[in-house]
Amino acid sequence: MNLHTCILIGLLGSITMFMGDMFLYYDRKDYDNKNKVNSIIEIMKKLGTKRLYLGGILGPLGSFLYLLGSYHMILASQEKFLKLAWILFLINSFGIIFGGAYHLQFAYLGLLSRHEGKEAFDEFLKFLKFQAKLVFGFMGLGNLGLAIMILFGLTIFPSWQVLLTPLVLVTLTPLLGKLPRGLHMIICGGWFNLIYFIYYLSLFINHTNMNL
């Protein structure tokens, strides 16, 4: 698998996972940004089970594509920094695998929320929050390493590319709360996958220009 193909697969992964987010909890009325989890649960209570099934299944599929796409870290690395790239790839892979499982759990969250049994539901929600820490912990470390590699010229990409890495783009998150209703639901609801879409799209454009 060459670098160009790898980047395209990562781009497809971001689209797939974003679609999973939208199937799980998109709603025209939007959600409350101050009470996001409970607001999203209320949305999912009203959705059809088939929609939740589809939204959940797209998570593992998207994470598989993300996993293949993240191999670009190795393919784009300068040869003398290949070992570092492998370490970061493996760290990021753990985050991606946990991320696919985390996404799938939201389908369960929506399905369980419409039944009796508050204690069981609360216990499940507690575990879901623990999973979130694993996902963002591993991916945070992987993305930090990736940003450092790009910034200090350890890859084939120019240093300015670091501005479009997930680590930098995620700092824009506080600004999203000011988006108008409707657009807020789409952008905020799938924000982390849109971050990767922007990143992989920028890599694709950059790599295409480098080969012209």
Read off the pLDDT of residues 100-157 as tens digits, 9 standing for 90 and up.
999 998 888 888 887 777 788 888 888 988 999 999 999 999 999 999 999 999 999 9
* Residue indicated by tokens 């849109």: 194
Q: In this model, does residue 212 exceed pLDDT 70? A: no
Question: How far, in Å, CA of 175 to CA of 184, rounded?
Answer: 11
pTM to 2 decimal places: 0.92
* Residue indicated by tokens 């996902």: 135
Question: How far, in Å, CA of 119 to CA of 115, rounded?
Answer: 11
Tell me the pLDDT band of 178, cut-offs 50, 70 and 90: confident
